[in-house]
Structure 1
Amino acid sequence: MNRSRSAAEFERAKKVIPGGVNSPARAFGGVGGTPVFIERGERQYLYDIDGNRYLDYIGSWGPHILGHCHPKVTKALEEATKLGTSFGAPTVRESDLAELIVELVPSIEMVRMVNSGTEATMSAVRLARGFTGRDKIIKFAGCYHGHVDSLLVQAGSGALTLGTPSSPGIPEGCTRDTHLLEYNDVEQLNAAFDQFGDEIACVILEPVVGNMGVVVPTSEFLSTLRSRCTDSGAVLIFDEVMTGFRVSLGGAQELFGVTPDLTTLGKIVGGGLPVGAYGGRADIMKTVSPVGPVYQAGTLSGNPLATAAGLATLTELRDSNPYPELATKTSELIEKLSAAAQKHGIDHSVAHAGSMFTLFFNPDQVVNYTVSARNQTDRFAAYFHGMLDRGIYLPCSQFEANFVGAEHTEQDLENTVNAATEVFATL
């Protein structure tokens, strides 16, 4: 498969863009080689600038659950663009989208639109601190919540060890009150609340992790989180930027029947445009300016194009309800991938929730960061490039989720398994 134009464009980009990309997740750093430069997307496919076609399991890292260029979304964008791209003033469509989010997401009584998932998590943590009058945060190793200073931390050496900044430019003071625990570890969680529960402003987590590969929570872990936060007065924040409207219409909280106090959203809620949102209990949300004292603002928040695409996407998802079929397709796909890997003696495990999945090159079931860190990344890199050469576009990291979309057909899934079987034979 010829990708000479992509290679040339990457060299050009590196001269004016750090690393040649505007997000590290696109850089092929975990697999080596040259990123593919995309020209367009259509339904379940991506087309690169060299004319190659790929079956897409990224979907812009989650948003395109309906496929690329869905006619209802593109029509909504065309109509909105004719009226103007930004006003810096309220619009009716903002209320339309807010009402639809409140209707669909169990925990949300009020919602504020922002411009990215990072902005949503940053604002939610600030709101939790302002509402409770407390400073301490609990997050979990392997959960990613955007490049927020207080949340961009690496794991400590023990259950209650403070996180240290995982990037230069973050003063240690920014993470002084951030505590790192192991995902799915109820014992650590209880120990933290026993030690300083009345000082905790919030606990934030991905209710299905998508940033160390797909990791599903245990029911005991989620129920303990809910009860300990309730008893201590801490705010429970579900980061559903990835899982919101993805694993079910109401997100992971609907799927698992656990209601957080605040929820952060992104990706699907904007139909593929830059967007974010945070919402939850009305008494907490009324602490946000201009009603309350917790300040947060944004020039492009509730942007007319993003709200148009979001409304069209969420309305279609509500009306068409693709979720049972998506879950079935995903389950069948990973079963067949697992069988093919086993046939060729490939150490692996699989995980999925709704239409999110990961094939781990790891014989152990991945339940937390400690286990995920043992993934055989070299073997994944070979698998990734083998699939790419066969026209299957996967996330370029073992630690990212894959996404099945409504446009993926049974034939697409069969072609994927056939390609993987060929690649497994070479590993």
Structure 2
Amino acid sequence: MPVTIDAIREAADKLEGSIQHTRCDHSRTLSAMLGAELYLKFENHQFTAAFKERGALNRLLALSPEEQARGVIAMSAGNHAQALAYHAGRLGIGATIVMPRHTPNMKVANTRRFGADVRLEGSGVAEAGAFAERLAAERGHVFVHPYDDDHVIAGQGTIALEMLATVPNLDTLVVPIGGGGLISGMAVAARAIKPDIEIIGVQSSRFPAMKQAIAGDPVSTGPATIAEGIAVKVPGGRTLPLIRDLVSDILLVDEAQLEQAILLLLEIEKTVVEGAGAAGLAAILAHPERFRDKRVGTVLCGGNIDLLPLSSVIQRGLVRTDRVVRVRVGVPDVPGALADLTRVLADHNAGIIQIGHQRQFTDLPLRAVEVETTLETLGADHTRELIQALRDHGYDPVLPDRADHPDMHPDERRGAP
């Protein structure tokens, strides 16, 4: 079955009533920040919290009765697994899912909860896929590829149909790329409806496999990424030529940019996304001039992130935006000195998260102690005001986490009191 606009429209008809028509909303705040009109497609609001339901269900609906009886098997880092397990369970089809050993716990638990037989094998999708194919041959299961399948690609393309029905005058679509199923289907649909629309892909700089393959370079991937949903080492054989023909460019984003986008979506849009789901916004934030004055749509393709990594993203984001800072000062080793310091901090509206003092690991005089405080502030301007207030009261503050901060006083950047 070639992936055409007709195949994608047929998929939309089949999926009607079984998947969410997620909203595609204009983000006023992010648009003002970026100088572009930004529209967000909330695929993280699907029942399994990711777009993968579309392709997985479209593939299941194409199975013959004999194939349904044999059951299905797939490899997945999580979202395809949950989607296939959920819809296979709804349709009464047995499902086995092979997931990499380091898949986030939430995705593993949810996949099992939907009734699938889950096997944890391999360090990544490629290794899990090789094991799944061997198991499929042994057991006679139908292998459902997460991205390199025409029915799957057509199912994912229905997202573009919905986006352009909501915002017909979009200039650009910015779409995350792992194996390429999402962007391939969306590109086929979008270019058929609006031939001049620009399609831009986004990959993690640690897993740029599709970008490398299109350039004809050897595929080389790096260590783990917070965007594990697009951490794919092997581009799809079906998806690669579609991307080569229909996608204008592929941008790379690093880990800090992904974390920033996750935090902004949480703060501004009040929505939780995983690293892959934030990749589109991360690319737009990293290249604002490229998108300025354009109507840009991006897909929040998944929201399955474990709470511990999400907590770390929030805490690290607060540090990066100077809303949580560490300050070291020397104080006299006399009763009441610590109270005097905390009084200055309180008078200038600094919230004390943690405070400690020590005498051994310091170059301060013998009759002094080093006090380190972790503070909650209102941001960089408030932090500067606080540092100046400490100086005005005779302290010599040091910010050990701001060794390369261009706005800080040279004394604050030296890294030790």
TM-score of Structure 1 vs Structure 2, range by shorter chain: 0.3 to 0.5
Whose Rg is larger? 2
Highest RCO, 1 vs 2 (Cα 8 Å, sep ≥ 6): 1
Structure with bigger helix share is 2
What is the TM-score normalised by the length of structure 2? Answer: 0.33
What is the TM-score normalised by the length of structure 1? Answer: 0.32
